Amino acid sequence: MAKFRGPLAFQAPSAEWQLLPFRFERINGKVLVTNLVGEHLFLSAEDFDQLARNELPTDSPLVRRLRAKHVIREGADELPVELLAIKSRTRYRRLAEFTSLHIFVASLRCEHSCPYCQVSRQSSDKGAFDMTWETAALGLESAFRSPSQNIKIEFQGGEPLLNFELIEEVVAAAEVRNASEGKNLGFVIATNLALLDDRVIDFCRAHDVYISTSLDGPADLHNKNRPRPGKNSWELATAGIQRVREELGVDRVSALMTTTRSSLGRVREIIDTYVELGLTSMFLRTLSPYGFAIKTKSFDAYDVDHWLPFYEEGLDYIIELNARGVPMVEQYAALILKKMLTNDDPGYVDLTSPSGIGIGAIVYNYDGDVYASDEGRMLAEMGDKKFRLGNLHQDSYEEIMLSDALLAPLEESFAPSAPMCQDCAFETYCGSDPTYHYATTGDFVGRKPTSGFCRRNMAIFKLLLDRYEGDAGTRALFQTWAGH
Amino acid sequence: MIALRGKALSAPLEEPLGHTVWKIVDVATANSQRGSRAFVVGEDGEAPEGFDLYLTRSCGPSAGKGEAVLRLPPELDYLSGDDVISVSDDGQRVRVLWRHESRQNSVLLTERCNHYCLMCSQPPKTANDDRLLAEAFELMRLLPRGTSEIGFTGGEPTLYGQGVIDLLRLCRNLHPEAQVHVLSNGTRFADPEFAAAWAGIDNPNMMVGIPIYGAEPARHDYVVQAEGAFNQTIPGILNLAQLRQRIEIRVVLHKLTAPALPEIAEFIARNLPFVYQVALMGLEMIGLARANIPELWIDPTDYADELVEAVTLLDRNRIHTMIYNHQLCLIPRSMWPYTVRSISDWKNEYHPECVECSVKDECGGFFFSAKYKVSEKIKAIPGEAPREPALLEL
């Protein structure tokens, strides 16, 4: 036995610890520590004090945990730095392949008149609010200029099916073009499904088009939120969802909800509606502060503090459903968990840094105006064209992508260099969202202590970490979501 | 337990054997290659002429006079055609290099190692054993085309440097279809030139199995008894990954590693997500492990939670994970789908309790070495009771 050396022989001398970049947040008597790339661990207040005072004992599980998570290193260790560098590169690799989502506003017209809608028009004048083929062709040209190997073309509105001929033309032209480009090309139609007919179904089947729709919850809530002639928006949407599932496939349709004051207190019913329709994924959204939402004061009507309990109850209910064997993913949590638990950043426009405006998604409005994000277009409808990058008919791809209107908000809002964000333990899970902060404060960076974006997301991060640490079953569920 | 070495009962040689590696033949066919083959004499006692060596079974008929004849000990009576053995010059010591019937052949390349793992099943030696490498070259030439799996082990095979690269290249060229698995502690791959030479073998069917015993240096280095090991093994793995090589991470579970299993799994998922698979290995109570039982023994039921946590995490991160050498009755049922019935056939034994067990055939069983230490919680899994025919209520 004398041949074997004891564990102490392999421990680094205690004086040699060096701190690697980490950030922390005190939560309920414990201290959350996150490393450079967002790997996390919770320390007791006493352990954290030892770390902060550089009084770490040599032989302790604490030191092993801190070294394993690249929070500290022994003086001569190069490996932690190298691994952190690899993980950081992995996190940011998506930036080289920018702009994968290209949103074509096929028409601003809509037969719905939802009070929270930011952009739609009630009009029978096809000429005034529909995108022309000439404009769409330029949009397609721009889309294929993007370095991204994955190109998704999403048709939005208004109600894009009101200009279905254009969709047919764009899809056909994109497929021809892609025969030589060789991109991973995908199509999405964002529709309320009220106008779904055989022609649309056959087309979607033939061209592998994905359907994204709106479903706000049970019939009374949905129909109140989304008025249309006949007061049957919910009936048409749910029938449409079922039809797409049956005729195109269960994985060909997903639904998004919008939260209004009427939704509060009804999150379980909303989730049940999704479950009953056989949907396995939903997105518990907050109301955005743009467009008519501000005009009609429906945004002021409830703030983050009202929304958070709604989200928490919904998340817990979804966790409970999964524990009972009912599969359901909450997409916002899944996005965050991917950032928390892997080295991947899904690049979700509102929750990534640098922001995804222009470089994650870009919007071609019906009239050829190019916006850095959908929210930027909504802001423009309110009269502020801050996020207008140019016009397809007047500006080149280079002029649009290198415009100050895009580069200034990207640079200024970059979270790792934004005041308070740079010190925030959650920075790698979060994003910069210059559009939100501009809309609410007139500044791309905003003021973080009063930012609703900041408050909402910090609360969600804490909630997710709490549930993740609390229970092995939830941990396994969250790991599954993160892996999607 | 199948013996892989033995002493000849008798070997009256007139002169030393000319070479050490012999392929066994039990049916006389063509004449051309008889010189390098050993003919094993069957029940009929027939011994065709022209072989440089004849093997007779312990109680079987003898061969003709005047030939080099070696009488096998009873434990090696199983040897038959297409097996490959190595025989010492004096004909006394026989080592089995390859058993044609087995799919778990493992070729020992050296007993030297730059680590001294607390639980090593093959305690390192320092003597020069280059002959093992030379035998392996010869073995590659004798194996039939179509051999499906070839494992190489040590000691630390990469200590040979270019020698092992040459061997593996020969292996690829002669047996391109074979799945090749090499066990290494990975430190040598920290040298980019060696890693590049490895990748240069260009065998897409080759995988290197590298152990990790902690998520940071202290625990790993202690287990392998080599300072600085972790800080070489991980860069070695990164070098191989950059060269798109197939890597398996192996974790032997014992008292020092099992409690850290979730940490290790997290480390792998976050830092080494590119690995081809992860193998969690039960402890083999042999070699140095026997000397270190107090430091190493832990009942597998005592790390069930850590096992579930780690396997779940790896699985969710889409890292193919396998549990080796574990008895089904000692791990949670949710882990059964990850188990591999893997204990090399020559090492496999069962416990008396296993007689009644309904899942014995799916179980990993035991290393024969389990006689030195085995969980007291081994318990037969009762079969599903035959369902009572439903009574028809009238």
What residues of B are in contact with residue A483 (Cβ under 8 Å)? 316-318
Contact yes or no for A369/A388 (Cβ under 8 A) = yes
Domain ranges of chain A: 14-92, 98-404
Contact yes or no for A293/A287 (Cβ under 8 A) = yes
Across the interface, which of B215, B218, B267 has its CB nearest the CB of A11? B218
Query: For the segment A52-62, what is each residue's pLDDT rounded down to a tens digit?
Result: 988 888 778 89
What is the least distance, in Å, from the CA of A434 to any CA of chain B?
30
Unique residue bearing structure tokens 């296993």:
B354
Between A447-456, B164-173, B218-227, the lowest mean confidence (pLDDT) is in A447-456
- Cα(B29)–Cα(B32) distance, integer angstroms: 9
- Cα(A250)–Cα(A261) distance, integer angstroms: 31
What residues of B are in contact with residue A39 (Cβ under 8 Å)? 270
Across the interface, which of A4, A39, A480 has its CB nearest the CB of B270? A39
Average pLDDT over residues A432-437: 92
Phi and psi at residue B229, to the nearest 5°: -65, -50
* Strand pairing category for B21-25 and B84-87: antiparallel
Q: Which residue of A has its CA nearest to B235?
A: A79
Residue from A73, A230, A462, A111 nearest B230 by CA: A73
The answer on pLDDT for A13 being more than 80 is no
The answer on pLDDT for B342 being more than 80 is no
Better-predicted residue by pLDDT, A23 or B43: A23
Contact yes or no for B278/B320 (Cβ under 8 A) = yes
Confirm or reject contact between A403 and chain B (CB < 8 A): no
Between A455-469, B306-320, B363-377, the lowest mean confidence (pLDDT) is in B363-377
- Cα(B304)–Cα(B283) distance, integer angstroms: 15
DSSP for B47-109? --TT-SEEEE-TTS----TTS-EEEPPGGGTT--TT-EEEE-TTS-EEEEEE-TT-S--EEE-
b/e code A7-31 from CB counts within 10 Å (16+ = b): eeebbbeeeebeebebbbbeeeeeb
- Cα(A356)–Cα(A337) distance, integer angstroms: 18
What residues of A are in contact with residue B217 (Cβ under 8 Å)? 10, 12, 67, 74, 77
pLDDT band at B394 (very low <50, low <70, confident <90, very high): very low
Predicted confidence at residue B322, as pLDDT, reads: 97
pLDDT band at A289 (very low <50, low <70, confident <90, very high): low
Across the interface, which of A1, A7, A67 has its CB nearest the CB of B216? A67
Confirm or reject contact between A447 and chain B (CB < 8 A): no
**Token pair of B343 as six digits:** 């204990």
What is the least distance, in Å, from the CA of A342 to any CA of chain B?
6
Q: Which helix (H) or strand (E) holds B354?
A: none
Confirm or reject contact between A7 and chain B (CB < 8 A): yes
Predicted confidence at residue B366, as pLDDT, reads: 76
- Find which of A5, A10, A322, A344 to mutate to test the B interface (most B CBs within 10 Å of its CB): A10
Contact yes or no for B139/B97 (Cβ under 8 A) = yes
Across the interface, which of B217, B225, B316 has its CB nearest the CB of A480? B316
Contact yes or no for B154/B109 (Cβ under 8 A) = yes
Average pLDDT over residues A324-350: 95
Radius of gyration (C-alpha) of chain A in whole angstroms: 24
| Paired strand residues for A362 | A102
What is the least distance, in Å, from the CA of A30 to any CA of chain B?
20
Q: Which helix (H) or strand (E) holds A282?
A: strand A281-282
- Cα(A322)–Cα(A314) distance, integer angstroms: 12
b/e code A342-352 from CB counts within 10 Å (16+ = b): bbebbbbbbbb
Phi and psi at residue A232, to the nearest 5°: -125, 30
What residues of B are in contact with residue A35 (Cβ under 8 Å)? none
- Cα(A275)–Cα(A283) distance, integer angstroms: 13
Residues 6+ apart with CB under 8 A from B353: B378, B379, B380
The answer on pLDDT for B369 being more than 70 is yes
* Contact (CB<8Å) B316/A78: no
Where helices occur in B346-385 by DSSP H, the ranges are none
Average pLDDT over residues A85-102: 94
Where helices occur in chain B by DSSP H, the ranges are 130-142, 162-174, 192-200, 217-224, 230-242, 261-271, 288-291, 293-296, 304-316
- Find which of A1, A42, A79 to mutate to test the B interface (most B CBs within 10 Å of its CB): A79
Q: Which residue of B has its CA nearest to A12?
A: B218
| Paired strand residues for B37 | B23
Confirm or reject contact between A9 and chain B (CB < 8 A): yes
Average pLDDT over residues A208-237: 94
Q: Which residue of B has its CA nearest to A40?
A: B266
What residues of B are in contact with residue A67 (Cβ under 8 Å)? 215-218
DSSP for A196-212? --HHHHHHHHHHTEEEE
The answer on pLDDT for A297 being more than 60 is no
* Contact (CB<8Å) B218/A12: yes
The answer on pLDDT for A176 being more than 80 is yes
What residues of B are in contact with residue A12 (Cβ under 8 Å)? 217-218
- Cα(B278)–Cα(B250) distance, integer angstroms: 6
Q: Which residue of A has its CA nearest to B116?
A: A4
Query: For the segment A122-161, what is each residue's pLDDT rounded down to a tens digit?
Result: 776 778 899 999 999 999 999 999 999 999 999 998 899 9
- Find which of B223, B239, B270 to mutate to test the A interface (most A CBs within 10 Å of its CB): B270
Q: Which residue of A has its CA nearest to B117?
A: A4
What is chain B's mean pLDDT, rounded? Answer: 90
Residues 6+ apart with CB under 8 A from A61: none
Residues 6+ apart with CB under 8 A from B17: B52, B53, B68, B87, B88, B89, B90, B91
Query: For the segment B82-93, what is each residue's pLDDT rounded down to a tens digit?
Result: 999 999 988 899
Instruction: Specify burial of residue B58 (Cβ count, 10 A radius: 0-12, 13-18, 19+).
Output: middle
The answer on pLDDT for A114 being more than 60 is yes
Q: What is the DSSP letter of A167?
A: H
| Paired strand residues for B108 | B153
Classify domain A98-404 by CATH architecture.
Alpha-Beta Barrel (3.20)
What residues of B are in contact with residue A87 (Cβ under 8 Å)? 270-271
Confirm or reject contact between A13 and chain B (CB < 8 A): no
pLDDT band at A111 (very low <50, low <70, confident <90, very high): confident
* Contact (CB<8Å) B235/A483: no
What residues of A are in contact with residue B316 (Cβ under 8 Å)? 476, 479-480, 482-483
ipTM confidence: 0.90
- Cα(B312)–Cα(B332) distance, integer angstroms: 12
The answer on pLDDT for B251 being more than 60 is yes
pLDDT band at B110 (very low <50, low <70, confident <90, very high): very high
- Find which of A1, A3, A4, A468 to mutate to test the B interface (most B CBs within 10 Å of its CB): A4
Residue from A400, A403, A461 nearest A430 by CA: A461
The answer on pLDDT for A437 being more than 70 is yes
What residues of B are in contact with residue A14 (Cβ under 8 Å)? none
Across the interface, which of B218, B292, B312 has its CB nearest the CB of A479? B312
* Contact (CB<8Å) B312/A78: no
* Percent of all residues in chain A with a pLDDT value above 90, rounded to a whole number: 77
Across the interface, which of A4, A63, A476 has its CB nearest the CB of B225? A4
Chain B residues with at least one Cβ partner in A under 8 Å: 116, 118, 214-219, 221-222, 225, 227, 230-231, 234-235, 238, 260, 263, 266-267, 269-271, 273, 291-292, 305, 308-309, 312-313, 316-318
- Cα(B137)–Cα(B114) distance, integer angstroms: 23
Give the A:B interface size as CB pairs under 8 Å: 83
The sign of the torsion formed by the CA atoms of B306, A332, A36, A23 equals negative
3-state secondary structure at position B260 = helix
Predicted confidence at residue B332, as pLDDT, reads: 95
Predicted confidence at residue A15, as pLDDT, reads: 61
What is the least distance, in Å, from the CA of B215 to any CA of chain A?
5
Residues 6+ apart with CB under 8 A from A214: A192, A226, A237, A255, A256, A257, A258
